[in-house]
Structures are given as structure tokens and as C-alpha cells.
Amino acid sequence: MSRATSFLVLVVILVVVVVGGLFYLDQAVEPQTQTVEKVLPDDQFAR
């Protein structure tokens, strides 16, 4: 193989590994959820 072809193959393999890692992290990590309750005072609303 020529030097340019070897470099191109290396770049393609590196891109595949990075995209695969990002896809794995996207599937493996779930965002944490937290319930927030906020009490609004009654005098804030007109009657």
C-alpha cells in the first residue's frame, strides 16, 4: 500500500472508533431525573 492509502485507512478506522464510542455512550448513559416541586403563593394570582 502506498503511504496515502495507509493514512486514509488509519483515518477511517479512527473515525469509526470515535463514532462507535459516541454511539455506545449515548446508549449506555441515562440522564438523571429529579422531581422538583415549587409552591406558588396564593396572593400571586388575582381572584
Q: What is the pLDDT of residues 4-34, one digit of tens each?
A: 999 999 999 999 999 999 999 988 888 888 9
- On the question of pLDDT at 1 being above 80, the answer is no
- On the question of pLDDT at 46 being above 80, the answer is no
| Concatenated DSSP letters of 1-42 | --HHHHHHHHHHHHHHHHHHHHHHHHHH----------PPPG
**What are the cell numbers at 1?**
500500500
What pLDDT shows up at residue 5?
95
Nearest to 16, CA basis, from 4, 26, 24: 24
What pLDDT shows up at residue 30?
82
| pTM for the full predicted model | 0.57
